[in-house]
Structure 1
Amino acid sequence: MTFIHPLKIGSVTIKNNLILAPMAGITDSPFRVLCLRGGAGLVCAEMVSAHALHYGNAKSGKMLQVNPKEHPVSMQVFGSDEQTIAEAVKNAESCGADIVDLNAGCPVKKINKAGAGCVLMKDEAKLARLLSAAVKSVAIPVTLKTRIALNHKEFLGARLAKLAEDCGAAAVTLHARAAADVHSGEPDVDALAKACAAVKIPVIGNGGVLNASRVKEFMEAGCQGVMIGRGAVGNPFIFQDICDELAGKTPTSKDPKKRLEIYLNLIEENIAFYGERIGINRSRKTAGYWIKDFPNAAQVRGVFVRLDALSDIRKLFAQTLAGL
């Protein structure tokens, strides 16, 4: 069985079937660019409120911006009424998104109180109306991201996948945990397999993907693609690592030198997108993921978090790399 291969999602064909998941506060444009360099076949933006877009919220509007370097990209929207969802997906299309995704799986209470996210799993008729409105509003492919269940009493994965197919969605991403589990526990591969067997559109498996073994497990269950979220946060090159593992090679990003080079790349992308002050500030938040596991890592990290200029950061990293 060939685990890594191109994947067709409606009219869009991506180079491979490893996909970056949408993650609030993480999958901004600089991070997406780096994940594409790190081997992702498709990157997904953090979810945007259809309601906020409807009322012209500037921050939400900026989240739809597409960097020419980040294609193919999927923009994810969330909302609770057909009109604003239709407007949001049109906005995403006009901003350059290749695919647009509807979120019906987020378990965050603030999102759920607004009638969006995983609460849509309780009202399949409403979910169908929202998804159909999105599909009818744009020429680009529309996908659905949801979960296999709200809790462990009733598994909905197969039924929701069929709903997505019937509404014209080009693919469905299923997080293989119940909404009640959030991000804990083992993914339910059997539930994924049932969903895959129920539809002809691609089912993309998501949840707990940290290595090649999980990718193989999801693909053997019938998934045509695999979405990676938290596993990419500290390593945007996890996609290439998995390809290397499946090919019997040693992943290169585990090397401290390679990791620091990737991190500098991310800092530079953040600065290009946000400006030097904000870009460096955002980069500091993930320093613990990157500057570790080599001699004097703690000291390097301590110096790094006090630097405010890219030139000084480049000098520190050059000195550190020379000593490794």
Structure 2
Amino acid sequence: MNEMPNNPVWLAPMADITSWPVRRMFFRVGVGLAHTEMVASRALMERHSSVFYSLQRYHDEGPLVLQLFSGDVASLLEAAQEAYRISSFEALSINMACPSKKVMASGGGASLINRPNVAAEMIRQAKKLGFPIWVKTRIPSRNLKDVASWCDLLISAGAKNVALHGRTVSQGYKGSSDRNIVGEAARAFPGKITGTGDVFTSDDVLDYLEKGCIGVLVARGALKDPFVIPDALAKLGLRNGRKATFEFQREIFRSFLSDLCQVKDNLAMHLLRRFLSCIFKGMPGASQLRSSMARAHGITQAFELFNSFANNFSDFCAKEEAMNEHRKH
């Protein structure tokens, strides 16, 4: 991928979430690019079965970035080559952001912020494989000089894009993400910085872009409301922008459930539950639907419950519209 997508709203990598059914749903709501789940390089080298599912790419997905984490250069290179044999990707993203104790204990994730020489060498060597190299990372401190120095090291080593989260390692996911310092980095390195952290509304997306970021990663906020994305696109004047009408939501969730029926039931129900809270949010009777779907014995039953509600609600809306038209006359 030599050029960045014109659509700057992108789906972030999320462990145990951004497999192909989820990515496909987000491409339907309008993201310009998506990431795979964060994959452990050693798990890929050891050929764990779950890893192959994580890397599976559906034929009609849009631009897809592979995300790997590793504590050493050799494992990263071997895993990247194996991943590209399994599937195709537009870029390789090296995770230098994850604050998980397990990931950091392996020498990967956010621990690389304290191992800058290893981080730079990973990028330099990975670049030789011929893939565009991206990095997802955090601010090393709330000192702008430290942030600029860290970003400069990554970009000078060959990173084409740096997705910068405005929390420090010690913060984990607590407190707030410092959007201003991410914006300062974006202005210091034009066209190189993607904003990430605390994106919950379409205005959050616009704020990152106005501060100079070339793209914005949506993550936890999109689990609560995927329709933040088409709303942001509408405000940006892009063609995929639209309102989250009942019909649009029905189309999106019906396709998502149909895709979930193609994967193992336990995985399908896990993914469904991550999105249950946003299904037909605010619509009459939807809370009862969500409760029933959560208790379903499997994805097939959950899909049947969804279709029954959607069809009945559609009939109700049609009758209401007809009655309103009749009252006008």
TM-score grouping bracket, smaller chain normalisation: 0.7 to 0.9
Equivalent of residue 78 in structure 2, options 80, 83, 87:
87
Deviation of 1:278 after TM superposition, in Å, equals 4.5
Contact residue 256 and residue 293 of structure 1 kept, 8 A = no
| 1:227 match: secondary structure | strand
**Identity between Structure 1 and Structure 2 (%):** 26
User: Given the alignment of the two structures, is residue 317 of structure 1 paired with residue 310 of structure 2, yes or no?
Assistant: yes
User: Given the alignment of the two structures, is residue 298 of structure 1 paired with residue 287 of structure 2, yes or no?
Assistant: yes
| Distance in structure 2 (CA, Å) of the matches to 1:299 and 1:82 | 50
| Distance in structure 2 (CA, Å) of the matches to 1:214 and 1:288 | 21
Aligned to 1:47: 38
| Distance in structure 1 (CA, Å) of the matches to 2:207 and 2:315 | 40
Deviations 1:137-183, CA, capped at 9 Å, x for gaps: 2x22110010112x547863322221121111111110122222233
| 2:75 match: secondary structure | helix
| Distance in structure 1 (CA, Å) of the matches to 2:113 and 2:10 | 23
| Distance in structure 1 (CA, Å) of the matches to 2:25 and 2:197 | 21
Deviation of 1:202 after TM superposition, in Å, equals 1.7
Contact residue 166 and residue 196 of structure 2 kept, 8 A = yes
Aligned to 1:100: 92
Letter matched to residue 206 of structure 2: K
Contact residue 134 and residue 162 of structure 2 kept, 8 A = yes
Structure 2 segments unaligned to the other structure (5+ residues): 318-329
* Number of residue pairs the alignment of both structures matches: 311
Quote the RMSD (CA, aligned, Å).
2.5
Mapping for residues 191-210 of structure 1, pairs under 5 Å: 191-210=181-200
Equivalent of residue 111 in structure 1, options 103, 114, 123:
103
Distance 1:232 1:155, change over 3 A: farther
Letter matched to residue 248 of structure 2: K
| Distance in structure 1 (CA, Å) of the matches to 2:274 and 2:221 | 16
Mapping for residues 163-178 of structure 1, pairs under 5 Å: 163-178=153-168
| Distance in structure 2 (CA, Å) of the matches to 1:192 and 1:112 | 23
Structure 1 segments unaligned to the other structure (5+ residues): 1-9
Q: Say which one has the larger Rg.
A: 2
| Distance in structure 2 (CA, Å) of the matches to 1:28 and 1:99 | 17
Mapping for residues 143-158 of structure 1, pairs under 5 Å: 143-149=134-140, 151-152=141-142, 156-158=146-148
| Distance in structure 1 (CA, Å) of the matches to 2:309 and 2:202 | 34
User: Given the alignment of the two structures, is residue 223 of structure 1 paired with residue 219 of structure 2, yes or no?
Assistant: no
Letter matched to residue 297 of structure 1: A
